[in-house]
Every structure is written in C-alpha cells, then in structure tokens.
Homo-oligomer: A and B are copies of this chain.
Amino acid sequence: MTDNEPIFDVAQLSHVELFTPKMDESLWFFKELLGLQESSRDGKSVYLRGYEESYHHSLKLTERDQPGMAQMGWRASSKLALDRRVSQIEKLGAGIGWVDTEAGYGPAYEYRTPDGHIQRIFWEVERATIPDSLKTPLINRPQKRPLSGVPVRRLDHVNLMCSDVGPMRRFYQEAMGTRLRETIIAGGGEVEVAAWMSHNNLVHDVAMMRDESGVKGRLHHVAFWYGYPQHLSDAADVFREHNIQIEAGPGKHGITQAAFLYCFEPGGNRVELFGDAGYLIFEPDWKPVVWEEKDLEAGIIWHGSQLPQEFFMVGTPPVPANE
C-alpha cells in the first residue's frame, strides 16, 4: 500500500457515550420516543441500541451533573487495520492507551482529538442478545421494529464543536484516513469553519464545526437515522406534544443534502434525527465541496426550517456562566 492510496482502516462509527444529568428523562426520551432498545445497565450507565443495529450498543448514557460527550468509538476494518491506526495515532502523539473493560467491545485504544474529544478505536465487538420474542422474519434486521414512538434505525454520525477546525480535520485525515467531503471556508479562503468527513459512502459519519465560545472539546450533536422524511414529521409531532424542545427542522440542508430535525434530549444534549440518505459518495477521488460565504445561504438551508443563531453557539457541556 502506498501513501497515495486511500485508507480504509476505519469501518464505521460504532457508538457514542453521552453524559446526562437527568437519566430517567433521557431514558424516557430515547426509549419511549425514539424506540431505542436497552441492552444492559452497569453502575450509572445504560446501554442502548437501534432496532437495526446488531452490536451491543450504539448509545451509552451515563449519569453526570452536566451533559456532554464522554467518548465515541470507531470500529476498525480488521485487526490489522486497528494496529495500523494505533501505530499512527501514537506517531501523532495523540494516544492515551488501551481500555479493556468496556461492555460491548474488545480492547479499545483510547486517544484524543486536537481539541480533546475522547475517541476509541477497536476491532472486536459483542453482538446484542435478541430474545426470541423480538426475532423477526425479516432476517437482515436484528430485531422487530419497536412499537414505541417513532423508532430510529441506527446511529448515523457525531458532530463535534472545536476551537479550530483545521487541526481537527487534518488529525482525522492523518490518524484515521478520514475523507473530507464538504467544507465551509470563510474569511476569503482563510478560515475553515466546518468540515463534514467520512470513512465510507456517507457524506459524513463525523463532522466538526468552529466553537465560537472558545471552549474546547464540546459536542454539537449526535444523529440517529430514519431514512424516510415522513418520520421527521412524525417525530416532530411527538416532540411538540411531549415538550421536547425542537431547535430546528424538519428541513433540508444544502450541505450533505440531509433532511434534518434537531432537538434537545431532556439531559440537554442536542440530537439530530436524519430523515433520508442525503446523497451517497462513491467517487474514490471525491473533490471536497467547498462552500464559500457567497454560497452559504443555500448550503446551510436548502429548504424548510432555518437554523437559529444558537445552533452555532450551543453545545454540551454548556459554557460556564463566568466564562
């Protein structure tokens, strides 16, 4: 393999761990409204998964005084791919070390993004145990579609706020071989404001955007996937009637062409529901789409709901009042 060849060592975003100061309410939201399935509990944590996910969990909720992201995990494409990535992370000086005791997956290497977000990468995974009562004749689906709320199918992506997009974007490229799909460049070509990146055919499985607060390492949002726009309308209906704060949507971004709905789960973390497949990227020499300020009006919102100014400011954990 030469330096010029694309890297395929990371297969997918596998899970995210969120902190919540309101565990009961957060669980109610994710289980009753979004139909996530509980796989197990452990101390102050609950492990959840979508009904079309075969792994033990894609969402770990952990009780804590402030919302935010504890860590997120990537599954490597192979055991060797994991080794190559760990070697590269260590070469970049971003490594923390091996974690051996987590439910749901085998030895994971923990590391930091330049902004401090904790990441894990691993190869071995544990599959969810599906009780017979949830088995489905649709055997490419791990279990029956839940009867609760408007059930999501799987975790889609994470969007990270960061003090400086450039180093974040380069770190993903260099450490993980992540491909840049779309980017916003402001200031006459000087300032990277946001980047959408992926390890596969999605337009993004990770995104990053500039945090104007100057605080480092915060979470912007976690996204779960429906694949059908009607479900965004259904979910919005349910959210309105159950006092879940909708921040924006349903609407359609120009960037990524995503049909979106943004809300805040009761613990305070922003959650996106994703209503279609956007577009998929198959071109191996994809030239990143560069949105300049003149194009941004169409890029931010192609049609439908606008984004409030807070969308670009609010992340978790919240910025302390005295900052």
CB within 8 Å of B: which residues of A?
1-2, 4-6, 8, 11-13, 32-33, 52, 54, 75-81, 136-141, 144-145, 147-149, 153, 182, 200-203, 227-231, 233, 236-242, 246, 249-252, 254-257, 259, 261, 276-277, 279-280, 282-284, 289, 291, 295, 298-299, 302-306
A33 engages B137 (CB within 8 Å)? no
Partner of A246, one of B81, B139, B236, B303: B303
Assess whether B276 is in contact with A78, with CB atoms less than 8 Å apart. no
Question: Which residues of chain B come closer than 8 Å to A140, judged between CB atoms?
Answer: 182, 203, 254-257, 279, 289
The reply to whether A32 and B147 contact each other, CB–CB distance below 8 Å, is: yes
Complexed CA–CA distance, A139 and B200 (Å): 21
Residue on B with the closest CB to A291?
Answer: B139
Given A80-B5, A282-B11; A249-B303 close (CB under 8 Å): yes
Query: In the complex, which residues of chain B have a beta carbon less than 8 angstroms from the beta carbon of A295?
Result: 137, 139
Residues of chain B with a CB closer than 8 A to A302's CB: 138, 236-237, 240
| Most interface-central of A8, A141, A231, A282 (chain B CB within 10 A) | A282
Q: Which of B81, B200, B229 contacts A228 (CB 8 A)?
A: B229
How many monomers of this chain does the complex have? 4
A191 to chain B, nearest CB (A): 19
Q: Which interface residue of A139, A237, A279, A303 has the most chain B CB atoms within 10 A?
A: A303
Let me know if B153 and A241 touch, CB within 8 A: no
**Partner among B4, B13, B282, B303 whose Cβ is within 8 Å of the Cβ of A236:** B303
A233 in complex: contacting residue of B153, B182, B229, CB < 8 Å = B229
Q: Give chain B residues whose Cβ lies under 8 Å from the Cβ of A79.
A: 4
Of B4, B201, B230, B240, which is within 8 A of A200 by CB? B201
Query: B306 and A306: CB pair below 8 A?
Result: yes
Q: Which single member of B1, B147, B227, B304 contacts A1 (CB below 8 Å)? A: B1
Which B residues touch A283, using CB under 8 A? 11-12, 54, 75
With A and B bound together, what is the CA distance between A279 and B202 in angstroms? 12
CA distance A254 to B241 in the complex (A): 12
**Complex Cα gap A307–B49 (Å):** 34
Q: Residue A304 contacts which of B52, B238, B304 (CB distance < 8 angstroms)?
A: B304
A74 to chain B, nearest CB (A): 11
Given A5-B78, A201-B201, A277-B227, A282:B139 Cβ within 8 A = no
Name A249's contact: one of B246, B255, B304 (CB within 8 Å). B304
- Interfacial chain B residues near A1, Cβ < 8 Å: 1, 80
Asked whether, in the complex, the Cβ of A284 is within 8 Å of the Cβ of B78, the reply is yes
Q: How far apart are the CA atoms of A242 and B289 in the complex, in Å?
A: 21
Q: A227-B276, A282-B11 are in contact. Are A257 and B138 (CB under 8 A)?
A: yes
Please, how many angstroms separate the alpha-carbon atoms of A75 and B230 in the complex? 33
Residues of B contacting A229 with CB < 8 Å?
228-230, 233
Within the complex, the shortest CB–CB distance from A242 to chain B, in Å, comes to 8
Question: Which of A140, A231, A236, A280 has most chain B Cβ within 10 Å?
Answer: A140
